[in-house]
Structure formats: structure tokens, C-alpha cells
Structure 1
Amino acid sequence: MFKKILFLILVSILVSCNFEKPTEFSEEALNEKVYNLNDEVATFQEVINQHKGKNILIDVWASWCRDCIKGMPKVKELQAKFPEVVYLFLSVDEKKGSWKRGVKRYNVIGEHYNLPKGMKTGDLVGFLNLNWIPRYVVVNENGKISLFKATEASDNAIIEALRN
């Protein structure tokens, strides 16, 4: 009996963690340092604050990620369909040179920042529970997370979140 109860508790904890859909970034995530293409440092909060009043599509990607590159044409379609949206690309490339070359090579248009600790370390990737890229997050014009997790740019949930 004790084992069954323990099992149920563990399952409920795992399920609640996997389906968590926060509507706000944690303070630690907002304080994460990011770097733009000019190597200027900002906090993630400062980047988000630059776009108050607008919807933001965050695309967490890397230049070495095959699925990320494969999804770029769909992101370009979203950009054409929703030109008023801010497209914020967060690279988890650990080598800034690779990231910058990837932006140029794949003609990635939007706001660009790098998380130099990669996809395994850091408060922002920890908050996102980043275990796969690409990862898409939509932040609404009020600064709230309206879509916490999509892993394909063709996900209809992205379009719904951008419309609302």
C-alpha cells in the first residue's frame, strides 16, 4: 500500500512538472545576461522591456541544430503573416562566432541574443526546462507568457497565441 501511494505521489509530481505553463518569467530568468550581435550585455528583462506593448515570438535555437534550421522557413512565413510581432532569437551556441555566422548563413531576421552558457546551464534555460530545441515561446503585449512551449514553428498554437 505504501509503495502504491509513493508511486502515485511521484507520478503526480512528474506530471505537474511536465505540464507546467507559467505566465511570467522567474526573476532569475529575467536577470540572465544575454549578448547581442555587437557583444553588448543586457539582462533578459531589459530585452523584454524594449518591446512592451508588442507580441514577442521567442525562438530558442542554435546554429548547429538541424531541426532549428529546418524550422526557419516556417518562422519566415510567420514573419510575413505577423509583421507587427517582434521575433526574438535566443541562441544557445556556446561559441559566439558560430552563432554570428549562423545568423548570416541562414539569413535569420529579427532581434538576436546569445546565451553563452549553452542549453544545459543558466537560469533562463532552467526556467524553460530546455531539453529540446528549437523552442518557441510567445509573450503577449502585456509581458505575460501566452505560449510556454512549442517545439515546431508549424505548431498552430503559435498562430493562436499571436492572434490573441
Structure 2
Amino acid sequence: MKRIVVFTLMLAFLNCNTQVPKEFPKDALEDTFIALDGNLIALKTILEAHKGKTVFIDIWASWCGDCLRGMPKVKALQKVHDDVVFVFLSLDRGQEAWKRGIKKHDVQGEHYYMDKGKKGTFADFVQIDWIPRYMVVDTKGKIKLFKAVEADDKRIKQTLQ
């Protein structure tokens, strides 16, 4: 009985102290990705290019069944929210697979390859435990939605409105 009480208290303590980040830390902003043209680009540069606009981030891979099942829902969001910038960060196993996946699935938006995979500072910050992973960054560069794993998550629609 004592163990159950201690476990319950620990669980409650951990849940109460879990804060959802509202800003990217400096090291995550400085993490780099590979653009379609092969150049490295920092997350900070990507976000600064869209200052004043809402940015929807989709972390995906062309081999990921859940990512592909969510893609029609993402495309539906794009149709409704044409003022939102859609940034796709790929965890594909190679750049060729990433580029083939974009073309094969007709993924429209900005594309970057996470060459460090789940080991980069950005990936570490967002604690990728599942893909697809969706985030929304507001017009001031603040994180409005830190984590969603379903493209039809009601929080995405609420945040984009």
C-alpha cells in the first residue's frame, strides 16, 4: 500500500511540474537542417523568414504509415489555412528517400531534412517519441502548440484559427 501511495504522489508531482515550452531554446534554434538545394539552414533562419506568419511544423518520414495516413488531413488544413506556412521536417533514412517521398506524395510546403535524425538539439528539445509530430508557431515565433500526433487534433484547428 505504501508503494502505491508513493508512486501516485511521484506521478502527480511529475505531471504538475511538466510545463509545455512556449519558446525554442537557443541551441534548438541554432540546429541545422538540409534544404532541398543541399544547403544547411538553421531553424532560426527558417522561422525568421516567416516572421509575422503562423508556421505549421510537420515532422514526418516517407516510410511512416501514420505520417502518410495523416497527410490528406494536413493537405486539408493547407486548403483552409492558405495564410499559414507549412514546414516539413523529414526523418527519412536518407536524402534520396526524402526527396522521392515529397514527390510521390505531392507534399506541398517547405522541406528540410533532419540529417542528425533524433540526435540533434532540435529533436532533443521537442522530445520526438512518435511521428508524425505537429507543432504550431505563432506570428511572433512563440510555440502555440508544442505537440500533436494526429493531424485532425482539435487543438491544431483551434490554434490555426
Give your verdict on TM over 0.5.
yes
Q: Give per-residue Cα distances to partners, 1:69-95, cap 9 Å, x unaligned.
A: 111100110000000100000001131
8 Å Cα contact 1:57/1:86 also seen in 2: yes
Hey, what does 2:41 align to over in structure 1? 42
Hey, what does 2:138 align to over in structure 1? 140
Give the CA RMSD over aligned residues. 1.9
Number of residue-to-residue matches in the alignment: 161
Q: Give per-residue Cα distances to partners, 1:118-144, cap 9 Å, x unaligned.
A: 2x3111111111000000000000110
Give distance in 2, aligned partners of 1:23 and 1:35: 25
Q: Secondary structure at the match of 1:99?
A: helix
Hey, what does 2:97 align to over in structure 1? 98
Displacement of 1:10 = 3.8
Give distance in 2, aligned partners of 1:20 and 1:132: 19
Q: Which runs of 4+ in 1 moved over 3 A?
A: 2-10
Displacement of 1:13 = 5.5
Displacement of 1:4 = 7.4
Segments of 5+ residues of structure 2 without an aligned counterpart are: none
Hey, what does 1:107 align to over in structure 2? 106
Question: Does 1:70 find its partner at 2:32?
Answer: no
Give the TM-score, by structure 1 length.
0.90
Q: Percent same amino acid at aligned positions?
A: 43
Q: Which amino acid aligns with 1:91?
A: S
Displacement of 1:105 = 0.4
